[in-house]
Amino acid sequence: MIVLNHLRVLPAAVVAIGFAVLARALGAVSDGGALAGVLVAFLMMLAAGLAGLLPLVAVFILTSLATRWRSERKRNMGVAERGKGRSASQVLANLGAAALCFVAAIIFPRFSELLLVGALAALAEATADTVSSEAGQAAAKQARMIVDFKPAPIGTNGAISLEGTFAGCIAACIVAWVGTFSGVVPGRWGAVIAVTGVVGMFFDSLLGATLENRGKMGNDSVNFVSTVLAADLALIIALVTDGARM
């Protein structure tokens, strides 16, 4: 049975629309991406209250800064983000798994804490993946394929760098910290969110090096599957941990 706090609906809608309008004005998303962002932000605030927007703000700031960092170098290398911001498909590929957890938390409020742990893990993975890619393209001198560590051109699917990996790990930790600091989930889940986000980041690179490079998966599919993995791992750990504590 769906139980909604009606006092949250209108403020959540207003704040979500305002957040999406700002993101569109800054050129971070396309029109479709802004609409997708409204939906995700609205669902998160319904599930976690207005404080639920803070992790999404962290995701937005971290990915935007990473995307803009040394953009001229990225353009010269031919790896810069193209178009007028991220499209609806890109936004949903990165945030869709978290949105599904938000919906489940709204429908099953009894399990909202565990489901929000999964949602934040998905957000941590999406942020870590984007930041690691953008930071690696901006700062790395050498990239290596994750499957065999052979040198590869920067920006190649499945290629990782020390600079990008470090930045991605820091980004995952920041999202986890914001999620716990804002009270979306208790502090004891911070390490779980950060670690599963990083695991998902490496899984994304593995899929990129194998299935994506073989044409078996597209980039949006890789991103979505990797966020699902992070969310699932976090949910499993949370369930096992809670079961052990009972």
pLDDT digits (tens, 9 = 90+) for 201-217: 999 999 999 999 998 99
pLDDT at residue 1 in the model: 41
Burial classification of residue 57, based on how many CB atoms lie within 10 Å of its CB (0-12 exposed, 13-18 middle, 19 or more buried): middle
The full length of the chain comes to 246
Q: Note whether residue 240 is domain-resident.
A: yes
Looking at residue 140, the DSSP 8-state letter turns out to be: -
Residue 101 resides in a domain? yes
pTM as predicted: 0.91
pLDDT on residue 194:
97
How far, in Å, are 212, 213, 220 from residue 217 at the CA level?
Answer: 5, 8, 8
pLDDT tens digits for 22-64?
888 877 788 888 898 889 999 999 898 888 899 999 999 999 8
- The reply to whether 165 falls in a domain is yes
Residue 48 lies in a domain: yes
Query: Is 17 inside a domain boundary?
Result: yes
| Domain assignment present for 213 | yes
Compute the distance between CA of residue 199 and CA of residue 229 in angstroms, rounded to an integer.
Answer: 9
Q: What tokens appear for 172 in the block? A: 């995952």
The answer to whether residue 1 sits within a structural domain is no
* Distance separating alpha carbons of residues 172 and 180, to the nearest angstrom: 13
Q: Which residues of the chain register pLDDT less than 50?
A: 1-3, 244, 246
159 touches 90 (CB < 8 A): no
Count: domains in the chain: 1
CA 176 to chain centre: 11
Residues spanned by the domain of 16: 6-245
Whether 53 is covered by a domain: the verdict is yes
pLDDT at 34: 87
